[in-house]
Structure 1
């Protein structure tokens, strides 16, 4: 139960003429960064009256919440709360669990995400990237979000889970529905998508349970066989993981690629620097993660009263961690925190979270983005917008729905392709 909020009595109230609508999907699909900057300076632990939750703007506060699951629980919901509906929870899913169950689940699932297993995916990833780019006609424009950014992570997930890669379009429909419940343009109902997703993966899991795919080495097969201290993942655990991987592994990586490219379009000097020095691409991927923050936020619920920066967060109240604000915190990233710098190092961003719920697939996302940008920048010497960028109306992952661009091919594409590896 969320109670009406009381600031600590000693706190002098700071006036903000028009509080930003931190509960609104449209806010996150627009340009939230000026509002973040203002709130970091004036009200870094701010109360949203409309939906009744706290929002955290500062890097260290978000690290504190992320690394204290006993104080801030994931089990009561991780999305911006809406008083009109109960905060959705998928009970038992990794992302909705706290220790000690969370540690056991994560240990089991980690067996499918070792550094070695991720590294061996690179040839397939590069082949997927080249297939998408080969289909582009440099003489005309192209829809970047749909034709370039989307295919790579979706096909990779199909490959990881042992599903036919021709199902990638269906995967994307499910993923869009799962994160775009506030977007009127997403036609498939969230609950319908979940039902279809479960039915699809129930069949794949059954094939692995009964030995029909005994020799398969895909991630789902690894997880079916994984065992820690004599305990295996249940079918329900596996189904929930498939949903988590589909959403987290598809939407976030696809948006990282699209938003990272958009950042380069808006910063042509950085684009030229990367083309001249492709060895900087891994560092640039970290900067795209920081600068664009593909996951806008996540929420926790206070398990007891906690004071932060003079504000009293009461037991049962929700706390939303604004990663996009933390990743531009001047106290951490200095006077260039609002600037794109593909040479930034070190870069301790929170785009993958931290603590107990840091992203399991972070290394895979980094690999996918690195490979795509290596191929893209080697082939094309210029990219420019060719229309309006449309974002999905969502509070957590306001993805890129449309991003028309024009590309100019490099003068020697054969040499460019060789340079990409």
Structure 2
């Protein structure tokens, strides 16, 4: 049953065709929780690709929904700023009394300096070191899955694998690693959406995160440099003198970037293969398609639905006048389904030509730092799945997150039938 103030998915889908174009508000978290946003974005791409929403729970904003327009906004960093002083990188403004600077929410040169401090974690030598570790952990998690009974893939596989890697990147105490998952969820949660009840609770839990990591910082700053993220920040000239809120902001950026995005692609990939069983058959017949399938999964899933910029001055864009101070929201989830760029975009096509032609990692200056690490994790997970199992069955529609930012899942019920378990690998 839906609460009285929450329309059903069918009602939301019907409204997409009936609403006047100027009344469409794609910033409603319920649209994403009920997977009902697709026809809204299809209309905007056709009828108003640069669209102004005058009223939403997050205030007025522009929606950029076409692939080429998103790239243009990303590239024009002078007009379209990500600096936290304008409100941040999400549709929801950062609160004035709880501002969290982070390098993704900075303009050059500060952005470049702070990003460089942690760049080595995804360098070639680091990825080579991590590959065997990721594989061993994937093997352990997959070998421990129950056979012949239903279980939640999100908890048993997606969260566990990404949290283990995140703990390694931070050299975080292993026994407490699930606190990273909680802080990741809290960082992007909307009060009342099932994660936190109030903004005060959200702030309190994030301060706990800061306090915990401050203890780790104090240990690392007084020790020789190491190859974990905390040590890298503690020993870099660009970040060693950052304020506590700067530190918390960068921590949350790395936690969310290293957790939410990959975990939802691990879940989304299995869900998509069940939605498109012919593609699953294609994969089972040719496991060598995994490297091509991985970026296609990331496109199809689009684990972060949007990024936001703020106009620094009045600017004419595609026949619209965007005013200084206006929010400009780049909907990656729409650009990744732009029919003018990606044919048959609603389908997962695991042997798609040019599968890396997607926007899930952003474009230009703020392209995702962890792109190669995400590819590595997903490739290894699917290589190890295919060694062990045939078809893993999704039993029900997933439960999705109440968020316009993280496009993710809380539950995906699955079952591995005994006859789908390979006896030798």
Structure 2: tracts of 5 or more residues without a match: 1-17
Distance 2:166 2:55 in 1: 38
Q: CA deviation at 1:406?
A: 1.1
- How far off is 1:333 after superposition? 1.3
1:76-117 per-position Cα deviation (integer Å, ceiling 9, x unaligned): 2211147xx858974541021111211111222213321221
Mapped partners of 1:108, 1:278: distance in 2: 37
Per the alignment, residue 65 of structure 1 pairs with 73
Distance 1:28 1:379, change over 3 A: same
Helix, strand or coil for the counterpart of 1:346? coil
State the distance in 2 between where 1:364 and 1:277 align: 24
1:264 to 266, 269, 273: 273
* Separation (CA, whole Å) in 2 of partners of 1:197 and 1:91: 13
How far apart, CA to CA, are the structure 2 residues paired with 1:109 and 1:350?
A: 23
Q: Cα offset for 1:220?
A: 2.3
Question: Is this contact kept in 2: 1:383–1:408, CA < 8 A?
Answer: yes
Partner of 2:206: 194
2:100/2:249 contact within 8 Å kept: no
Checking the alignment, whether the CA contact within 8 Å between 2:392 and 2:420 is kept in structure 1 is no
CA, structure 1 residues 319+327, in 2 after alignment: closer, same or farther (shift >3 Å)?
same
Distance of aligned partners of 1:306 and 1:343 in 2 relative to their CA distance in 1, 3 Å threshold: same
Q: Matched residue of 1:205: which SS? A: helix
Q: Please say if 1:338 is aligned against 2:346.
A: yes
Cα offset, 1:204, TM superposition: 0.7
Runs of 4+, deviation exceeding 6 Å = none
- Measured in 1, the distance between the counterparts of 2:207 and 2:95 equals 20
The equivalent residue for 2:217 is: 205
Q: Does 1:41 align with 2:41?
A: no
Q: Secondary structure at the match of 2:90?
A: coil
Is 2:286 the partner of 1:281? no
Q: Does the 8 Å contact 1:297/1:323 carry over to 2?
A: yes
The structural deviation recorded for 1:121 is 0.5
**Partner secondary structure for residue 133 of structure 1:** helix
What secondary structure does 1:54 align onto? strand
Superimposed CA distance per residue, residues 265-321 of structure 1 (whole angstroms, 9 cap, x where no aligned partner): 111111121122122112111111111111000111001112222111111100000
Contact 1:327 1:351 in 2 (8 A): yes
- Counterpart Cα distance in 2 of 1:322 and 1:288: 17
Is 1:401–2:410 an aligned residue pair?
Answer: yes
Shift in CA distance, 264/194, structure 1 to aligned 2, threshold 3 Å: same
In the alignment, the residues of structure 2 paired with residue 410 and residue 245 of structure 1 have an alpha-carbon distance, to the nearest angstrom, of 40
Q: Secondary structure at the match of 2:392?
A: strand
The answer to whether 1:97 aligns with 2:106 is: yes
Larger deviation, residues 168-177 vs 57-66: 168-177
Give the TM-score normalised by structure 2: 0.87
Q: Does structure 2 retain, via aligned residues, the 8 Å contact 1:223–1:233? A: no
Distance in 2, matches of 1:87 and 1:369, equals 37
> What is the deviation of 1:337?
2.2
Cα drift, residue 261 of structure 1: 1.1
| CA RMSD across the alignment | 2.3
**Distance (whole Å) between structure 2 residues aligned to residue 368 and residue 138 of structure 1:** 23
- 1:78 is matched with which residue? 89
Range 17-26 or range 256-265, more displaced: 17-26
For residues 116 and 394 of structure 2, what CA distance do their matches in structure 1 show? Answer: 44
For the Cα contact (< 8 Å) 1:158–1:165, is it kept in 2? yes
Q: How many residues were matched structurally? A: 396
**Residue pair 1:95, 1:357 contacting (<8 A) in 2 also:** yes
Give how far 1:164 is off.
2.0
Equivalent residue in structure 1 for 2:20, among 17, 21, 32: 17
Question: Per-residue displacement from partner, 1:211-244 (whole Å, max 9, x unpaired)?
Answer: 2xx374323223333457xx85636454432221
| Distance (Å, rounded) in 2 between the aligned partners of 1:241 and 1:148 | 26
1:321 corresponding residue in structure 2: 330
After superposition, where does 1:134-173 map in structure 2 within 5 Å? 134-173=143-182
Give a deviation string over 1:329-351, Cα, whole Å, max 9, x none.
112113x2222111112131010
In the alignment, is the contact (CA less than 8 A) between 1:287 and 1:340 conserved in 2?
yes
Could you say if the C-alpha distance between residues 393 and 125 of structure 1 is closer, same or farther in structure 2, counting changes exceeding 3 Å? Answer: same
After superposition, the Cα gap between the structure-2 partners of 1:262 and 1:87, relative to the gap in structure 1 and judged at 3 Å, is farther
1:181-260 → structure 2 map (5 Å cutoff): 181-187=190-196, 189-211=201-223, 214=224, 216-227=226-237, 232=240, 234=242, 236=244, 237-260=246-269
Which deviates more from structure 2 when the two are superposed, residues 337-346 or residues 57-66? 337-346
Say if 2:364 is the partner of 1:355: yes
Name the TM-score, length of structure 1 as normaliser.
0.88
Range that drifts further, 171-180 or 20-29: 20-29
Q: Secondary structure at the match of 2:77?
A: coil
Q: Partner of 2:148: helix, strand, or coil?
A: coil
Q: 2:32 aligned to 28, 34, 46, which one?
A: 28
